[in-house]
Amino acid sequence: MGLCDDDSDMQLETSSSEASATSSITLSQHCAICGDRATGKHYGASSCDGCKGFFRRSVRKNHLYTCRFSRNCVVDKDKRNQCRYCRLRKCFKAGMKKEAVQNERDRINCRRPSYEEPTQANGLSVVSLLNAELLSRKVIDETNNVTDAEINNRKLAKINDVCDSIKQQLLILVEWAKYIPAFTELHLDDQVALLRAHAGEHLLLGCARRSLHLSDVLLLGNNCIITKHNIDGRMDIDISMIGIRVMDEIVKPL
């Protein structure tokens, strides 16, 4: 009777410890600060690369942040860049230590450069750059399948079509930017400012790249076209003039 009780107790303890270990593993998969996917334990807390970089920069530059609200802002994957004060405070609450950042810097200063670490100064590795190149080639190949013969059947772009294409490409641009680690670590206001300042160039270059293999035609993101020669005057004169400039000044030199 006593032996059975002991065995039961041991089984319960084992099950409890296994459940605790499983729970610990599950928790460590998420960033303790914003809830995003964790990449490991950084500076004393399970965190994603975004929060890791934010904490490191904040400590090294000795930033003093302020909260515009009640110091109780939501810090999650989508809103982590909105209040740096609350994000840093949550980093400390999660267990991150200033000393760990300083110790890391000391180790880096003492370590010799190694060819086993092909990471560039901007944080992009050779592998990530190659993957980006392969993805871009895949998109380019898809647009290159459109021939001059097929392009004649496409719809001539009107003002509404151009606006729709711009909206579509802006959404794609924002999603693309979210995959750039350094961009996602910026404050939300800085992200918006960067996109506003350079969205126009991105849209023009994207349109030019889609149209490189075509003759005197611009292929928009929604598959409408702008032709260099305004057939029967069916195309808006302003659209036609802008299209001609893009073809002559951007596409042709490429």
Task: For residue range 31-69, list pLDDT tens digits in order.
Answer: 999 999 998 899 999 999 999 999 999 999 888 999 998
Q: What range defines the domain where residue 64 resides?
A: 40-100
pTM to 2 decimal places: 0.47
Q: Are residues 94 and 158 part of one domain?
A: no
Q: Are strands 225-227 and 40-42 parallel, antiparallel or unpaired?
A: unpaired
Q: Are residues 69 and 157 part of one domain?
A: no
**pLDDT (0 to 100) of residue 22:** 42
Query: Does residue 4 lie in a domain region?
Result: no
- The answer to whether 101 touches 56, Cβ cutoff 8 Å, is yes
More confident residue, 197 or 120: 197
Decide if pLDDT at 119 tops 50.
Answer: no
Task: For residue range 95-105, list pLDDT tens digits in order.
Answer: 999 998 877 66
Query: Does residue 66 lie in a domain region?
Result: yes
| Centroid of chain to Cα 252 | 31
Categorise residue 68: left if φ over 0, alpha if ψ from -120 to 50, beta otherwise: alpha
Decide if pLDDT at 185 tops 70.
Answer: yes
Q: Are residues 243 and 156 part of one domain?
A: yes
Q: Can you give the CATH number for the domain in which 91 is found?
A: 3.30.50.10
Domain boundary among 85, 100, 115: 100
Q: Are residues 163 and 94 part of one domain?
A: no
Phi and psi, residue 122, nearest 5°: -90, 5
Question: Residue 223 and residue 219: Cα distance in Å, rounded?
Answer: 6
Q: Are residues 161 and 235 part of one domain?
A: yes
Query: Does residue 211 lie in a domain region?
Result: yes
Task: List strand residue ranges (DSSP E) for the chain, in order.
Answer: 40-42, 45-47, 217-219, 225-227
- Give 25's pLDDT tier (boundaries 50, 70, 90): very low
Domain boundary among 58, 84, 100: 100
More confident residue, 131 or 5: 131
Q: Are residues 162 and 90 part of one domain?
A: no
| Centroid of chain to Cα 155 | 33
Q: Are residues 168 and 81 part of one domain?
A: no
Q: Can you give the CATH number for the domain in which 226 is found?
A: 1.10.565.10
Question: Residue 239 and residue 71: Cα distance in Å, rounded?
Answer: 50
Number of structural domains the chain divides into? 2
Alpha helices by DSSP H, listed for 146-187, are 148-151, 159-177, 181-184
Query: Does residue 8 lie in a domain region?
Result: no
Query: Does residue 142 lie in a domain region?
Result: no
Query: Does residue 35 lie in a domain region?
Result: no
Query: Does residue 30 lie in a domain region?
Result: no
Decide if pLDDT at 114 tops 50.
Answer: no
Query: Does residue 29 lie in a domain region?
Result: no
Decide if pLDDT at 75 tops 90.
Answer: yes
